[in-house]
Amino acid sequence: MLAALAEARAALVTDDVPIGAVVVDDTGAVHATGRNVREAEADPTGHAELVALRSAARDRGDWRLDGLTLVVTLEPCTMCAGAAVLARVDRIVFGAWDPKAGAVGSLWDVVRDRRLNHRPEVVAGVLADEAGGLVQSFFARQR
The alpha-helical segments, DSSP class H, found in 73-143 are 78-87, 128-142
Query: Does 47 belong to an annotated binding site?
Result: yes
CB 71 within 8 A of CB 5: no
Q: In the chain, what is the greatest distance between 2 CA atoms, to the nearest angstrom? A: 43
For residues 143 and 138, what is the distance between their CA atoms, to the nearest angstrom?
A: 9
How does strand 69-74 pair with strand 121-124? unpaired
Q: Would you please indicate which residues are annotated as catalytic (active-site) residues?
A: 49
Residue 120 among known ligand-binding residues: no
The angle subtended at Cα 47 by Cα 111 and Cα 37, nearest 5°, is: 170
Q: Report residue 3 CA to chain centroid gap.
A: 12
Helix (H) or strand (E) holding 7: helix 2-11
- Please tell me whether 18 is known to bind a ligand: no
Question: What residues are designated binding site for Zn(2+)?
Answer: 47, 77, 80
Q: Which residues are annotated as a binding site?
A: 47, 77, 80
